[in-house]
Amino acid sequence: MKSKIISFVLLMYCTLSGAQQHRWERISPVRGLWDKGDTVSVMIIGDVMMHARQLQYDCGPFLQGIKDRLETASLAVANMEFTLGGEPYSGYPSFSAPDSYAAYVKDCGIDVFLMANNHIMDKGTRGLERTLEVYRNMEGIRFTGAAADSAERARNHPLIVAVEGIRIAFVNCTYGVNGGYVPQWPCVNLQDTDDLSEAIASARRSKADFVVALPHWGEEYVLRHGASQQRLAQRLAEEGVDAVVGAHPHVVQDSCILSGPMGKKVPVFYSIGNAVSNMSAPNTRLELAVTLRFVKRPWADPEMLPPSVEFLWCTLPGKLIANYAVVPVREWMGRREQWMQSSDYDNMVSTYERVKSITGIQD
């Protein structure tokens, strides 16, 4: 009986004193009661691309190496950096992938498609409309970043997804599109700060527990973020988003933690790089998969746990296997003899070490 009283007193003390600390820093002495809760994981991968050479291969192996991770996550999100503009299919600089490619990405475990990127208008208004139509008719897929009309935009900007009792809002936008022209309808979400403010406010009005911003921004092939990214990230943090995960530079960039309202810690990943592509320029084959974690405990508001990261490597045909393959770097460390071309293993290791050193990101 005495031990139960002590445990109760400790729990009350932790609850009251913890209110003065940041939520990430609480430590409960009564595990199994305060700590028990349902954790929701949101895994975000970078640019899913379809270059001309990729069109020559069966896409089946592309994401096979991380499919288990995508399927295990409560929710998986990917930047779909191509259109479904129909035949003839094409790669850079004007992407049009087969409809089956989007279906494949879904079958690998992706639940949310991000559409706000500079290539989404590659096939003009008609290509964007067709892409939206295909995504709209895919069972189990949600999308954000573009919309056919005001009603669709109201539904997906922000896109709010309820997962195991936690409501997560996704706000996706891009610095612009190739060619520069964005019609009123169908539309693409641009980095207009007033529009972003309204989307974040709308998420809160809709009782979202968390807001995740997913901007398409920054200078390509640069491993450190730029001043414009810094300004927008700070604005997003001040507006109350809970995390920022960016894309577009095709390489992994540095990350940081910014301060939001009431001292809230806001993790910012400026760029997570490519997921799968035919790129071979320095650093473009290394990606960062970011997993955001949220927990809902009894008698407490949902809270965000520290995110986790994992570096991935995109091997090109004839390097590891005869096809493209995305593999977890640490899982393949020390397995040089399994590479078809051992020099590619060396490239993976050196790139991994270089990018970690420059960005400061540790996995």
The pair phi, psi for residue 128, each rounded to 5°, is: -65, -45
Residue 17 lies in a domain: no
Yes or no: say if 66 and 314 are a contact pair by the CB < 8 Å rule: no
Label residues 201-215 b or e (16+ Cβ within 10 Å = b). ebbeeeebbbbbbbb
pLDDT in the model for residue 241? 98
- How many other β-carbons are positioned within 10 Å of the β-carbon of residue 155? 13
Rounded to whole angstroms, what are the CA distances from 90 to 49, 97, 230, 314?
A: 11, 7, 34, 21
The average pLDDT across 341-348 equals: 98
Residue 85 lies in a domain: yes
Q: Kindly report the CATH number assigned to the domain that includes residue 308.
A: 3.60.21.10
pLDDT in the model for residue 37? 66
- How many other β-carbons are positioned within 10 Å of the β-carbon of residue 183? 12
Look up the domain containing 97 and give its range.
40-359
| pLDDT over 70 at 22, yes or no | no
Q: What is the DSSP letter of 96?
A: B
d(C-alpha 236, C-alpha 36), whole Å: 31
| pLDDT over 80 at 33, yes or no | no
User: Total structural domains in the chain?
Assistant: 1
Burial of 111 (0-12, 13-18, 19+ CB in 10 A): buried
Rounded to whole angstroms, what are the CA distances from 331 to 70, 184, 334, 349?
A: 16, 46, 9, 12
pLDDT tens readout for residues 153-207:
999 999 999 999 999 999 999 999 999 999 999 999 999 999 999 999 999 999 9
Residue 25 lies in a domain: no
pLDDT in the model for residue 14? 34
Residue 34 lies in a domain: no
Structure tokens at 329: 């770097």
d(C-alpha 40, C-alpha 166), whole Å: 8
Residue 10 lies in a domain: no
Yes or no: say if 63 and 276 are a contact pair by the CB < 8 Å rule: yes
How does the average pLDDT of the chain come out, rounded? 91
pLDDT in the model for residue 299? 83
Residue 29 lies in a domain: no
The average pLDDT across 285-296 equals: 97
pLDDT in the model for residue 36? 52
Yes or no: say if 128 and 186 are a contact pair by the CB < 8 Å rule: yes
The average pLDDT across 8-31 equals: 32
Yes or no: say if 278 and 54 are a contact pair by the CB < 8 Å rule: yes
Q: How confident is the model at residue 10 (pLDDT cuts 50, 70, 90)?
A: very low
Residue 281 lies in a domain: yes
The average pLDDT across 218-224 equals: 98
Its pTM stands at 0.90
Residue 107 lies in a domain: yes
pLDDT tens readout for residues 129-147:
999 999 999 999 999 999 9
| pLDDT over 70 at 30, yes or no | no
* CA 25, chain centre distance (Å): 25
| pLDDT over 70 at 17, yes or no | no
The average pLDDT across 291-311 equals: 93
Count CA within 13 A, CB hemisphere, residue 271: 29
| pLDDT over 50 at 61, yes or no | yes
